[in-house]
Structure 1
Amino acid sequence: MPNHPTLATLTADLAAGRTTARKLVDDCLAKIADKAGEGARVFIQADADGTIAAADAMDKLREVSAAPSPYAGIPVSIKDLFDVEGQVSRAGSLTLKDAPPAAKDAPVVARLRRAGFVVIGRTNMTEFAYSGLGINPHYGTPKNPWRRDIGYVPGGSSSGAAVSITDGMAYGALGTDTGGSCRIPAAYCGIVGYKPTARRVPLDGGIPLSVTLDSYGPIARSVGCCAVLDAVLTGEPIAQVVPRPVRGLRLAVPTTVMLDDLNPAVARAFERALDRLADAGALIDHIAVPEFGEVAALNVGGGFAAAESWAWHRALIAEKAELYDPRVLSRIRRGESLSAADYVDLLTIRRPIIAGFERRVAPYDALIAPTVAITPPVMADLADDAAYVKANMLSLRNCSLINILDGCAISLPCHREGEPPVGLMLAAAGGSDRRIFELAAAIEKIVRA
Structure 2
Amino acid sequence: MISDFTVLRSALLQGRTTVAAALAANQERARSHACRHAYTYLEDSLAAPLALHRPLSGVAVSVKALFDVQGWVTHAGSKVLREQAPAISDALAVARLRAAGAAIVGQTHMVEFAFSGVGTNPHDPTPAALDGLWGHDPGEVYVPGGSSSGAAVSVASGSAWVGLGSDTGGSIRIPAALNGLVGFKSTASRVPLQGTLPLSTTLDTACAITRSVRDTITAHEILAARRITRSPAPLPAWRLAVPRDVMLDDLAPAVAHGFARSLHLLRQAGADIVEIDLPELRELPALNAHGTFSAAESFAWHRDLLALHAADYDPRVRQRIEAGGRMSAADYLHLQRNRQDWMARIDRRIAGFDALLSPTTPITAPLLSAVAPATGDDPALDARRDAAFFTANGLLLRNTSVVNMLDGCALNIPCHLPGELPMGLMLWHGAERDDTLLALGLLAENCLLGNAVRQGAQPACPLSLPD
1:159-202 per-residue CA deviation (whole Å, 9 max, x = no partner) reads: 10001011001011111000000000000000100000001110
- Note if 1:186 corresponds to 2:171: no
Equivalent residue runs for 1:375-394 within 5 Å: 375-383=364-372, 384-394=385-395
1:286 aligned partner: 275
Q: Judging changes above 3 Å, is the alpha-carbon distance between structure 1 residues 14 and 318 closer, same or farther for their aligned structure 2 residues?
A: same
Greater displacement, 339-348 / 142-151: 142-151
1:71-111 per-residue CA deviation (whole Å, 9 max, x = no partner) reads: 21311001010000111001111110001111110000000
Does the 8 Å contact 1:302/1:331 carry over to 2? no
Does the 8 Å contact 2:174/2:360 carry over to 1? yes
Q: Judging changes above 3 Å, is the alpha-carbon distance between structure 1 residues 107 and 280 closer, same or farther for their aligned structure 2 residues?
A: same
Does the 8 Å contact 2:252/2:363 carry over to 1? yes
Choose from 333, 336, 351 the match for 1:362: 351
**Distance in structure 2 (CA, Å) of the matches to 1:302 and 1:271:** 34
Q: Judging changes above 3 Å, is the alpha-carbon distance between structure 1 residues 243 and 447 closer, same or farther for their aligned structure 2 residues?
A: farther
Does the 8 Å contact 1:427/1:436 carry over to 2? yes
**Distance in structure 1 (CA, Å) of the matches to 2:228 and 2:69:** 23
**Distance in structure 2 (CA, Å) of the matches to 1:316 and 1:243:** 51
- Note if 1:144 corresponds to 2:167: no
**Distance in structure 2 (CA, Å) of the matches to 1:37 and 1:429:** 36
1:283, CA displacement in angstroms? 1.4
% same residue: 46
TM-score normalised to structure 1 length: 0.94
TM-score normalised to structure 2 length: 0.90
**Distance in structure 1 (CA, Å) of the matches to 2:4 and 2:159:** 13
1:80 aligned partner: 65
Letter in 2 for 1:17: G
**Distance in structure 2 (CA, Å) of the matches to 1:29 and 1:415:** 28
**Distance in structure 2 (CA, Å) of the matches to 1:234 and 1:104:** 19
Equivalent residue runs for 1:196-345 within 5 Å: 196-237=186-227, 241-242=230-231, 244-345=233-334
Letter in 1 for 2:323: R
Q: Judging changes above 3 Å, is the alpha-carbon distance between structure 1 residues 182 and 420 closer, same or farther for their aligned structure 2 residues?
A: same
**Distance in structure 2 (CA, Å) of the matches to 1:446 and 1:234:** 27
**Distance in structure 2 (CA, Å) of the matches to 1:336 and 1:296:** 19
Does the 8 Å contact 2:290/2:331 carry over to 1? no
- Post-superposition, which runs of at least 4 consecutive aligned residues in structure 1 deviate over 4 A? none
1:428 aligned partner: 429
Does the 8 Å contact 2:291/2:332 carry over to 1? no
Does the 8 Å contact 1:243/1:439 carry over to 2? no
Letter in 1 for 2:147: S
Letter in 2 for 1:174: L
Does the 8 Å contact 1:71/1:117 carry over to 2? yes
2:83 aligned partner: 98
1:242, CA displacement in angstroms? 5.0
Choose from 56, 59, 64 the match for 1:71: 56
1:134, CA displacement in angstroms? 0.5
Letter in 2 for 1:400: S
Q: How many residues align?
A: 433
**Distance in structure 1 (CA, Å) of the matches to 2:440 and 2:51:** 36
**Distance in structure 1 (CA, Å) of the matches to 2:10 and 2:34:** 28
1:23-79 per-residue CA deviation (whole Å, 9 max, x = no partner) reads: 122111122223x3433x100001123x2xx21xx2x433xxxx4x13213110010
1:342-385 per-residue CA deviation (whole Å, 9 max, x = no partner) reads: 11111110001111111111111100000000011001112421
Letter in 2 for 1:106: A
SS in 1 for 2:51: helix
RMSD: 1.3
- Note if 1:119 corresponds to 2:104: yes
**Distance in structure 2 (CA, Å) of the matches to 1:372 and 1:237:** 30
- Note if 1:89 corresponds to 2:74: yes
1:133-168 per-residue CA deviation (whole Å, 9 max, x = no partner) reads: 111111111101153421111111101000101100
**Distance in structure 1 (CA, Å) of the matches to 2:345 and 2:228:** 33
SS in 2 for 1:61: coil
1:241-269 per-residue CA deviation (whole Å, 9 max, x = no partner) reads: 55641114211101110000000000000
Choose from 18, 39, 42 the match for 1:46: 42
Letter in 2 for 1:336: G
SS in 2 for 1:122: strand
**Distance in structure 1 (CA, Å) of the matches to 2:118 and 2:247:** 18
- Note if 1:165 corresponds to 2:141: no
Does the 8 Å contact 2:173/2:400 carry over to 1? yes
Letter in 1 for 2:213: V
Does the 8 Å contact 2:203/2:405 carry over to 1? yes
Q: Show structure 2 runs of 5+ residues with no match.
A: 373-384, 452-467
Does the 8 Å contact 1:244/1:442 carry over to 2? no
Greater displacement, 412-421 / 146-155: 146-155
**Distance in structure 2 (CA, Å) of the matches to 1:418 and 1:297:** 39
Letter in 2 for 1:338: M
**Distance in structure 2 (CA, Å) of the matches to 1:14 and 1:256:** 47
**Distance in structure 2 (CA, Å) of the matches to 1:238 and 1:411:** 18
Choose from 21, 24, 45 the match for 2:22: 24
SS in 2 for 1:247: helix
1:388-415 per-residue CA deviation (whole Å, 9 max, x = no partner) reads: 1110000000000000011100000011
1:7, CA displacement in angstroms? 2.0
